[in-house]
Every structure is written in C-alpha cells, then in structure tokens.
A = this chain, B = another copy of it.
C-alpha cells in the first residue's frame, strides 16, 4: 500500500496534503515493490523507466572499481527518490548499483504516468524542476571549485565571490562538511587550511562569520598563477 503520510514529506510531493495525494494517485498507475536486506534494487546501467520513491527503509548506492573493490557512494533514506535526475535525458540509466539496507518499500511510478502527474499538478512540477535543477547547480559549482588547484584557492574564491566588491565579511551557509564535499577534500584538510589562512592574517573566523581582513592578499592568490 502507498504510505501517503510519508510521501507528503518527500522532496517531490511536499506541499501537498495526504488527501490531495490520494486524489491524484486515484488517476494514475503505480506499483509498490518490496525488498529485504541486501536485495538488489537496481544495477548500475539499468534503464530508469519509473520515478522511484523510498517509502520505507534505506538503500545504498555502490560502485565496483577496476580492482574489484566495492565502494559505497551514498545512503538514500526514506522519503528520498532514487536517481531522480537520471529519469529523463540522453543517459536515463542508474549511475550506481542500488542495494537495500533493510526492509525497503519502493513506490514506482512509470514515466508516462509521472508525466501525467507533472502536467496535472503544478506543485509536483515545480518540486521536480527545483530538485533536478538544484542538482545541476550543485554539480556545476563543484566542477567550478575543482578547477582551482589548491584548497586555499578554493576558499579564497568562495569568500571573494560571496563578498563581492562591497562587503568585507561573509556568513557561511554551508557546514564545514558540506564545504569539504563541495571542494572534493576531507573535512580535516579543509579545517587546517582555514586555520592557516587565519594565521596568515588573510581572514578572521568567528563561528560562521568570516571577515576578509586582507582582501588584496586573497586576490593575489590568483594573480600568481
């Protein structure tokens, strides 16, 4: 059975009431699939033909590298969707292998039925477009940061970008862990560089507020290259 209460909390269906969801689901076809711990949900490369929403349990995304080692990429918890940015597009295939961590219930809505939902309900359309666009924007930002060689350059770029020409202090919206993920480095390395930049008098850190004490010095980090 569909758990409408859980669905109202999912990124795709948020903003709708249980009653509205029940009414909408009365007009489309869907399935609920059941998996046990360590069951294979999808293989990397499988074509994505349905929107898949976890309504119970959690799953993990895995990749196998060339030495045969299995790497865990991420955990996907209820009420998230599986690979929602890969449902459309030229390569609508699972980017990773998905395996159940425990008892899993997966709501599966075939693409044509999901398109009906998007066309009928503006909230779902908006939620879905926001979800996949935010994903693109995160990846695009991450690629931008990777183009800078050192962590120091990445931090300086972020701070100068946030401050613009007017401000001399900025409020970090990311946690250190989120920032480390964005830069593709570990959290301790990031913390070390932040500390070093404070010692050098480039910045002053007070909780989440960072004062750019030497904007000229931060700028010069880039001119050297």
> Which of the four size classes fits the interface of chain A?
35 or more
A85 and B136 contacting across the interface, CB-CB below 8 Å? yes
The verdict on A29 contacting chain B, using a C-beta distance below 8 Å, is: no
A67 and B223 contacting across the interface, CB-CB below 8 Å? yes
B136 and A89 contacting across the interface, CB-CB below 8 Å? yes
B133 and A139 contacting across the interface, CB-CB below 8 Å? no
Complex alpha-carbon distance, A196 and B75, angstroms: 40
Which residue of the partner chain B has the closest CB to A95? B140
Complex alpha-carbon distance, A71 and B41, angstroms: 45
Determine the chain B residues whose CB is within 8 A of the CB of A139 once the complex forms. Answer: 136, 139-140, 143
Which single member of B89, B119, B122, B146 contacts A143 (CB below 8 Å)?
Answer: B146
The verdict on A210 contacting chain B, using a C-beta distance below 8 Å, is: no
List 23 A–B pairs whose Cβ atoms lie within 8 Å, in order of A's numbering. Answer: A65-B222, A66-B157, A66-B160, A66-B219, A67-B219, A67-B222, A85-B137, A87-B129, A88-B126, A88-B134, A89-B129, A89-B131, A89-B136, A91-B137, A118-B118, A118-B125, A119-B120, A119-B125, A132-B132, A135-B136, A136-B139, A139-B139, A142-B143
Sort A-B residue pairs by CB-CB distance and give the 4 closest, nearest first: A89-B133, A66-B222, A88-B129, A89-B134
